[in-house]
Amino acid sequence: MSLPAPASLAPRPGPAGRSITDLTVSIPTNSAPVPPSTTRPLWRTREFAFYYVVFALVVPLMVYVPVRLSSPTHPNYALYAHRLSPGWLGRQVDNSDPQYRSFRSNLCPLLGLAALYLVPAQLVRHLYPFPLAPASAAAEPSHVHAAASVPPAQPHAPPASPAHPRAVRARVRFLAGAALALLVVLHGVGALKILAILALNYALALAPKGAGRWARAWPAAVIVGNMALLFVNERTDGWRLGSLHAALRTPDVLGGLLPRWHVSFNITMLRIVSFALDVHWQTPAPSDPPTDHRGRTTTSAPVVPSFALYLAYTLYPPLYIAGPIMTYNDFAHQLARPPALAPRARAAYAARVAASLLAMEATLHAMWVVAIKDAGAWDALGPADMCLVGFWNLVVVWLKLLIPWRFFRLWALLDGVDPPENMVRCVANNYSTLGFWRSWHRSYNLWLLRYIYIPLGGGRNVVLSTVLVFTFVALWHDLSFRLLAWGWLVSLFVLPELAARRAVPAHTFGARRWFRHAAAVGGVANIAMMMAANLVGFVVGLDGVARLGAALVGSPGGAAFLVIALACLFVAVQVMREYRAEERRRGIDRKC
Catalytic residues: 477
Kindly provide the residue ranges of all beta strands, DSSP E only, lying in 401-446, ordered along the sequence.
none
Neighbours of 13 (CB within 10 A): 15
Residue from 401, 581, 592, 414 nearest 20 by CA:
581
CA 342 vs. chain centroid, Å, equals 24
DSSP string, 137-172: TSS----HHHHT--PPP-TTPPPPPPS-HHHHHHHH
Q: How far apart are CA 453 and CA 458, in angstroms?
A: 5
Q: How far apart are CA 128 and CA 559, in angstroms?
A: 68
- CB-based contacts of 334, cutoff 8 Å, min separation 6: 296, 416, 417, 418
8 Å CB contact between 533 and 474: no
8 Å CB contact between 272 and 297: no
Neighbours of 76 (CB within 10 A): 19
Q: How far apart are CA 314 and CA 302, in angstroms?
A: 17
The CA radius of gyration of the chain, in Å to the nearest whole number, is: 25
Residue 140: left (phi > 0), alpha (psi -120 to 50), or beta? beta
What is the SS3 assignment for 446?
Answer: helix
Q: How far apart are CA 521 and CA 423, in angstroms?
A: 25
8 Å CB contact between 446 and 543: no
